[in-house]
Chains A and B, each alone.
Chain A
Amino acid sequence: MSEFALEMLGITKTFSRVKALDNVTLRVHTGEIHALIGENGAGKSTLMKILTGIYRADAGTVLLQGRETHFKKPQDAMQAGISIIHQEPSLVPDLDAAENLMLGHEMQRGGVLKARAQYAYAKRYLDYVCNGALGDYRVPVRRLSVAQQQMIDIARALSCQARIIVMDEPTASLTQSEIAVLFQIVRQLKADGITILYISHRLEELFALCDRITVLRDGRHVTDANVADVTKNWLIGKMIGRDLSQSYPPRHRRHSDEVVLEVQNLTGERYRDVSFRLHRGEVLAIAGLVGAGRTEVLRGIFGADPTRSGTVKVFGRETVISCPARALGQGLGFATEDRKCQGLFLNQDIRQNIVISALNKVSRYGVVHGAREKRLARRYFDELGVVAPDIDKLCKYLSGGNQQKVILSKWLASGCKILFLDEPTRGIDVGAKYEIFQLMDRLVGQGVSIVMVSSEMAEVIGVADRAIIMHEGAVTGELPADRLTEENIMTLASGETLRAAN
């Protein structure tokens, strides 16, 4: 019997030339609560997907209790006693707790469910986990709270005889009291010999709950340590300690006092009391961790989702932006993170993609003027240097960088003065990234103002004039250019306050 419940040794995984994991090692003792931390994109999810059989590693071995194992598919991992609890419970909303628990391993005889035996079996595990927190196991789970659904998820993992449970940001949508209950359950699991791999961005939770900790950064294993031996600041340092080797074009910063966009106490479903001002010709970054509500704020301002309260002033005038069409009329543009689903018309040609928001400019009485339309499309096609034979090519055949350029062309063609960029360089190769940054600098030089959401801190530091940082739906701080450091961003993004000395 090995002292380790799980060892992942020398794991390497490459996605189309990008090394997501590079010789990563993870060792977890039997019966401990082991934290796995790292920035967005550090490789935590990829590592867990390899552990649970969703991806296959290019190199490296996985040992369970000292025995080498190979998972070809998720079911293999489950049979080996590994279960994963996702941030959002993965249950069938119309089935009840017991039915969800038995889904996939139903008790049956000749295709007929053995309902009573099944319920009794499910009840054992549900009782163990829920401990009275869920009175009725016959209620469709869509009527239950996220916390209750999560308990069912955990019970389900146990009923599959899980010995190792991965929890991926389990507290992300829980309240404080629900978190306390969850911690109790996790400690109880530990007491019963279950090994827990705990992923979280909330450092305070790790200190309250975990025994050991492994830090990943840029797909590499940085360190592992006993939680008792380390401090929060040491951990933050380990998570971000990389040089800004990526190159960014020089920024020509311009200071203007003209406020083009003012947001006051904007509150929506996943953010609250967000206030900020955007100046003419400025690049303002909204930094923070994935799920902090950054995209949601942009969507709220743009009218893509309803807001609950708060005011938005565009060029000094208070406006109600109830739908994106209104936002367009106010001179706003929004290049979304998910370009394929929310930005592009993949089956349409480049020309139609560029002019869709500017049709009024190239038409009269609703009839499109073909030559003017082509001129407009070609102007931005050339100006942004989209690499394609011509503007009549379909967008689905373009690379990520060129697709992003087409989307930016669309907004420039619309004549927008305030541009929202959500993860503008995600999935774009280094060369095209540089071009996008150059373009952003040129745009602000022309008087366009930009709000950029980015999860890459280096990008925020390299490009932004100023940043506001969000944590769990609230703004936790604002940093001017001279105080934009990874430490400061990371501290605010984890919900900590900056020390006065800083």
Chain B
Amino acid sequence: MMHDVQLKQSSLRFLRKSTTAPFIALVVLLAFSTVFSPEIFPTAKNLTNIFKQASIVGVVSIGMTVVLLVGGIDLSVSYVMALCACLFARMSQTMLAAGRDGMALDAVLLMLLIGAAVGLINGSLIVLKNVEPFIITLGVGQVLKGITYLYTNGAPGGKVTTFWKGFGSEMFLGFIPYTVILYVALMAAFLFLLRKTVVGRRIYAVGSNGEAARLSGVNVRRVKLTAYMLCGVTAAIAGIMLASRVRVGEPNGSGGYDMDAIAAVVIGGTAMAGGRGHLACTLAGVLIMTVMNNVLNLIGADPNLQMLIKGVVILVAVLIQRQDD
């Protein structure tokens, strides 16, 4: 009997900590923001803006969640974004020069393949050579950065087609940015993948206990490879979104997305050690980060102070998570 009671209490605590805590934090933050900036913050225009800003880092954080769930990390995502943005813009420019103006599906597909390929390289090096994901993805990221700079000479260039210009700036029915629609769609797809598919179950199993997963007949290497490839693909998509928004391929434009994505995932309660976390909570993490940026800008806070506050929030989130163990 005693045991049952204990069980119930601990599982309730787990539920409270890991799934609802980030949303509670988000609500609190929204309330504070409304108090501090009652004129601008709660307006539809500003909220739409927040979602728009959230969408790109949100897409990156989806793949990052998957990688963190298998117990890994991917520090190459910003460089995948930069490479894809530059390549995509330049390919689009060539197409426009040839008189083609459209969705540029062939270019999009190529970007997705590049993302998947980078993920494959990251994953292969990690599982075959059994090296820390941190250093492998850091190295691969630097290589990609070098390639991007060699290719662009460090200068922004290229154009995007009318379709992608519209995608980056216009809104569906006049109030839902297209980038947000894409983010929501990807979110739905990955929620399904993680919760309802065999691969999803195995991702959690591998992150939770790799050796037990192996001895349970799970091909651990394949699962990890899949995770890194998915992360590469979402980073490539984010690269296209970035190019669409700034309408040019900017080799420097993606700085900080990697850390913001990791921070969002961790604030959302996903364990760095893997196996524990919910993609839905990553959404809360992303919104917390974006709302914080937004409101600090609105109240005209010193940008240096903003950095400091962001850091403190990440630390607090991680420390709360630790207490749960």
**Contacts from B to A (Cβ < 8 Å):** 3-4, 6-8, 10-11, 14, 196-202, 204-205, 208-209, 211-219, 275-276
Contact = CB atoms under 8 A, between A and B. Distances in A.
Interface stretch (A114-122, A362-370, A439-447): A362-370
Given A357-B216, A370-B196, 4 more contacts: A325-B218, A345-B204, A389-B8, A397-B11
A63 B276 CA distance: 51
B11 A393 contact: yes
Given A348-B275, A370-B196, A325 B208 contact: no
18 contacts: A324-B216, A325-B217, A327-B217, A329-B217, A342-B215, A345-B205, A352-B204, A356-B205, A356-B216, A357-B216, A359-B198, A359-B202, A366-B199, A367-B196, A367-B198, A388-B7, A389-B8, A394-B14
Contact of A347 (B197, B202, B211, B276): B276
Nearest to B208: A345
A383 B211 CA distance: 27
Contacts of A309: none
A495 to B, nearest CB: 30
A141 interface: no
B215 A367 contact: no
B10 A397 contact: yes
Contacts of B219: 323, 325
Contacts of A387: 3
Nearest to B274: A347
Query: Which interface class (under 10, 10 to 19, 20 to 34, 35 or more) fits A?
Result: 35 or more
Contacts of B4: 389
A360 B198 contact: yes
B196 A368 contact: yes
A325 B209 CA distance: 16
A389 B216 CA distance: 25
A410 interface: yes
B217 A324 contact: yes
Interface in A404-450: 410, 414
Interface of A: 302, 304, 323-325, 327-329, 334, 336, 341-348, 352, 355-357, 359-360, 363, 366-368, 370, 387-389, 393-394, 397, 399, 410, 414
Nearest to B14: A394
A100 B324 CA distance: 39
A356 B201 contact: yes
Contacts of B7: 388-389, 393, 397
A15 to B, nearest CB: 19
Nearest to A329: B217
Nearest to A325: B217
A150 B276 CA distance: 42
- Give the 8 A-B CB pairs with smallest separation, nearest first: A328-B217, A345-B208, A325-B217, A359-B198, A357-B216, A397-B7, A356-B216, A366-B198
Contact of B197 (A329, A334, A367): A367
Say what secondary structure dominates the interface of chain B. helix
A397 B2 CA distance: 12
Contacts of B217: 324-325, 327-329, 357, 414
A344 B212 contact: yes
B208 A346 contact: yes
A62 to B, nearest CB: 37
Contacts of B204: 345, 348, 352
B11 A356 contact: no
A434 B59 CA distance: 53
A345 B71 CA distance: 14
A343 B215 CA distance: 7
B216 A346 contact: no
Given A324-B216, A325-B217, A389-B4, A341 B208 contact: no
B198 A363 contact: yes
A501 to B, nearest CB: 44
Contacts of B216: 324, 328, 356-357, 410
A410 B218 CA distance: 13
Given A352-B201, A359-B198, A389-B7, A347 B275 contact: yes
A346 B218 contact: no
Contact of B209 (A341, A360, A363): A341
Nearest to B277: A347
Contacts of B276: 347
Nearest to B200: A368
A415 B23 CA distance: 41
Which residue, of A363, A366, A397, A399, has the highest number of chain B Cβ atoms within 10 A?
A: A397
A327 to B, nearest CB: 7
A348 B205 contact: yes
A386 to B, nearest CB: 12
Given A345-B275, A346-B208, A366-B198, A302 B8 contact: no
B11 A324 contact: no
A352 B3 CA distance: 22
Contacts of A304: 214-215
A348 B208 contact: yes
B190 to A, nearest CB: 14
A325 B217 CA distance: 4
B186 to A, nearest CB: 18
Contacts of A360: 198
A344 B8 CA distance: 20
A346 B275 CA distance: 10
A282 B124 CA distance: 42
Nearest to A388: B7
A304 B201 CA distance: 21
Which residue, of A327, A329, A367, has the highest number of chain B Cβ atoms within 10 A?
A: A367
B3 A399 contact: yes
Contact of B198 (A302, A327, A343, A368): A368
Contacts of B211: 341-342
B324 to A, nearest CB: 10
A410 to B, nearest CB: 7
B148 to A, nearest CB: 35
